[in-house]
Structure 1
Amino acid sequence: MKKSTLINSELSYLVATLGHTDEITICDAGLPIPDEVQRIDLALTHGVPSFLETVKVIMSESQVEGVVIAEEFVTVSPKHHDALVKQIKAESEATGKSISVTYVSHEEFKCRTVNSRAVVRTGECTPYANVIFQAGVVF
């Protein structure tokens, strides 16, 4: 059995095959997912798994150099937004690598998901609890 934090086989494979600048989206239960993008559906029920739990596990397994967040997340769900930003800052400090944060409209965010290698759907039911991670390199 795999020893590290991430034991979901689809997510583990996705992370292992990411190249520099590849993007993955982690989303709430309601974000529309383009048909042409791989869907990794983790949602079991409302809130399970949570957006922040999923973010934490994926960040523990992959190098992130940039994130994209919907502007609406800041004002509509400030508690979750602040927790995400805190997690991003902690990861940046732990790795010694800066992580850029870009804000776009929710409409632009939804359009950008078509460029993701995969969209990971959580059970989160908090509005705008979505993030796009851009893969970095460990060297």
Structure 2
Amino acid sequence: MKKSSLINSELSYLVATLGHTDEITICDAGLPISEECQRIDLALTRGVPGFIETVKAILSESQIEAVVLASEFAEISPGTHEALLAVLKEEEQKSDSSIDVHYISHEEFKARTCKSRAVVRTGECTPYANVIFQAGVAF
């Protein structure tokens, strides 16, 4: 049996097969997901699992070099936005590498999710609680 923190088989497979610059999206319960994208639906009930805990679980086993956020996120949901930035700062310190943060409009964000290897849907009900992770290399 797998010993590390990430035990969801679909997420484990996704992380294990990421290549440098591949993207994955972690989203709230309301983000539209294209039929062309792989959907990994974790949503159970409102708020379960939460956005931040899902971000932490995926970061526990993956190296990222950049994130993309909707510019509306900081304005509409500042608490969750700040919590995400704090998690990213922690990850930078753990991995001793920087994580670039890029902002685009929410409309551009929704369009860009189609380029993701997968979209991970959480039960989060905080507006704009969405992030695109760009995979880095662990060496």
For this structure pair, what is the TM-score category when the shorter chain's length is used for normalisation?
over 0.9
CA distance in 1, matches of 2:93, 2:104: 24
Q: Does 1:5 align with 2:5?
A: yes
Q: Tell me by how many angstroms 1:37 deviates.
A: 0.6
Task: Give the aligned partner of residue 50 of structure 2.
Answer: 50
Task: Give the aligned partner of residue 127 of structure 1.
Answer: 127
Q: Does 1:18 align with 2:18?
A: yes
Q: Which amino acid aligns with 1:57?
A: A
CA distance in 2, matches of 1:51, 1:93: 21
Task: Give the aligned partner of residue 74 of structure 1.
Answer: 74
TM (norm. structure 1) is: 0.99
Q: Tell me by how many angstroms 1:123 deviates.
A: 0.1
Q: Tell me by how many angstroms 1:137 deviates.
A: 0.1
Task: Give the aligned partner of residue 97 of structure 1.
Answer: 97
Task: Give the aligned partner of residue 29 of structure 1.
Answer: 29
Task: Give the aligned partner of residue 41 of structure 1.
Answer: 41
TM (norm. structure 2) is: 0.99
CA distance in 2, matches of 1:89, 1:52: 13
Q: Which amino acid aligns with 1:123?
A: G
Q: Tell me by how many angstroms 1:3 deviates.
A: 0.4
Q: Secondary structure at the match of 1:61?
A: coil
Between Structure 1 and Structure 2, how many residues are aligned?
139
Q: Tell me by how many angstroms 1:90 deviates.
A: 0.6
Q: Percent identity, aligned pairs only?
A: 73
Q: Tell me by how many angstroms 1:121 deviates.
A: 0.1
Task: Give the aligned partner of residue 117 of structure 2.
Answer: 117
5+ long unaligned stretches in structure 1:
none
5+ long unaligned stretches in structure 2:
none
Q: Secondary structure at the match of 1:92?
A: helix
Q: Secondary structure at the match of 2:67?
A: strand
Segments of 4+ moved more than 2 angstroms: none
Q: Which amino acid aligns with 1:130?
A: N
Q: Tell me by how many angstroms 1:62 deviates.
A: 0.2
Q: Tell me by how many angstroms 1:27 deviates.
A: 0.1
